[in-house]
Structure 1
């Protein structure tokens, strides 16, 4: 049976068999077998194909959802589940930052709790950026309608935009640091994501509840797992829509 999902995504993106073969670095005949026979590519080729087509591996090859090895790896990615953000040990945030050597990615509307609970967090993050740690910070656009809407949902009104603006002002000193980028975004925040190298804390959001009251997943990337990369892809998509803070 052929892979019509892959074929459809290629057609929508205007990508030919030859184009995809070049992008993924395989023979065009290999791509044709993916289409005509439904052969599932190796993981590296799946990931590259999904990126090129701006899609998900599991959509292009739904049989992956039934792979027990992938399911087991994804389950192993969950180090902890905290019932609310306050249950996350305070020293965990510090340890994750201290251990990070390659990158830190932060996605929130304001994230002020980090500065309130970890007074030296920003200072230490700037110091790491100076040594080459790539840092990407995404904060809510104070003027965006989604922030006003979230403020109404959580019962804090316009304070959501005020808090976002405060975070933007606080990070002003960091923007001229090497590898420290700050952008604003206007996307609905389904999850706040705090990524430190191959670990992440994901603050899930539920309608009508404030962020501190919502559960937090502690994830660690494991080869073959799906959860960590799932949230990282979400971060990257928001990053692409963001606007540099000037």
Structure 2
């Protein structure tokens, strides 16, 4: 059914499909569908279009969903820690141990895992042998972003050496069926330890070492989106990462 209110508003203001599309950063065909097929754009786009046209957004799109009320606590939140130092290493190890399909680790170094749990490589081999896909992304020590993190955290060259140490820990896994080790040079906003539908997120705070930054443990929930946000961010970094060299 055509959106006659939108058609009339655009006509009275002399708006073409192309002109409104340019203002709302969409394709002119999208605007044409809004008018002729009665399609409802995404909320942010609809609000921008309504503001541009000087109209009430719900007058133009009565079916536009109201934003969900904010939750006091996400249903995906399992636990929240003030800092990583408060998280027992066994918590992360237990999450990884439960994986049956997928393990993803995104860090700059996180050598505390190998230091506190020397069997980590054995655990990853066991999971891979049972059919798990294991992807590990560690920081490229020569990346400008890694060096910048060292300056921001007043850690100097320490972060670069720890990235090299992390790669040394993981290097024996290179070539193991089901395990892929890569290095990345992205800005690391969060360290991620994902196993199937669980993820432990170590947030990063400007000027603060990772062990002093907050951590949250999430479990995917049907109505939630937090888990998927972090899972998608891992995939985005992974797409830019390079295979780790067998030897340095």
Query: Structure 2-normalised TM-score?
Result: 0.74
In the alignment, is residue 219 of structure 1 matched against residue 189 of structure 2?
A: no
Q: CA deviation at 1:166?
A: 1.2
> Which consecutive aligned stretches of 4+ in structure 1 deviate over 2 angstroms post-superposition?
1-5, 7-11, 31-40, 57-65, 71-74
Which residue does the alignment assign to 1:122? 121
Cα distance in structure 2, aligned partners of 1:121 and 1:141? 21
- Any idea what SS the aligned residue of 1:237 has? helix
Which residue does the alignment assign to 2:142? 143
Which residue does the alignment assign to 2:231? 232
- Any idea what SS the aligned residue of 1:195 has? strand
Give aligned pairs, total: 210
Cα distance in structure 2, aligned partners of 1:216 and 1:206? 11
Which residue does the alignment assign to 2:178? 179
Q: CA deviation at 1:65?
A: 7.9
In the alignment, is residue 188 of structure 1 matched against residue 187 of structure 2?
A: yes
- Structure 2: gaps spanning 5 or more residues: 7-19, 48-63
Q: CA deviation at 1:64?
A: 6.8
Which residue does the alignment assign to 2:243? 244
Q: CA deviation at 1:34?
A: 10
Cα distance in structure 2, aligned partners of 1:35 and 1:208? 53
Contact 1:73/1:225 (8 A) holds in 2 = no
Contact 1:4/1:35 (8 A) holds in 2 = no
Structure (1/2) with the larger helix percentage: 1
Structure 1 pair 65/91, CA: closer, same or farther in 2 (3 Å)?
farther
Q: CA deviation at 1:92?
A: 1.2
- Structure 1: gaps spanning 5 or more residues: 18-30, 41-56
Q: CA deviation at 1:128?
A: 1.2
Q: Quick check: which has more Rg, 1 or 2?
A: 2
Q: CA deviation at 1:209?
A: 0.4
1:97-116 to 2 correspondences below 5 Å: 97-116=96-115
Which residue does the alignment assign to 2:83? 84
Contact 2:96/2:194 (8 A) holds in 1 = no
Cα distance in structure 1, aligned partners of 2:36 and 2:208? 45
Q: CA deviation at 1:103?
A: 0.5
Contact 2:82/2:214 (8 A) holds in 1 = yes
Q: CA deviation at 1:122?
A: 1.8
- Any idea what SS the aligned residue of 1:171 has? helix
Structure 1 pair 10/39, CA: closer, same or farther in 2 (3 Å)?
same
Structure 1 pair 10/216, CA: closer, same or farther in 2 (3 Å)?
farther
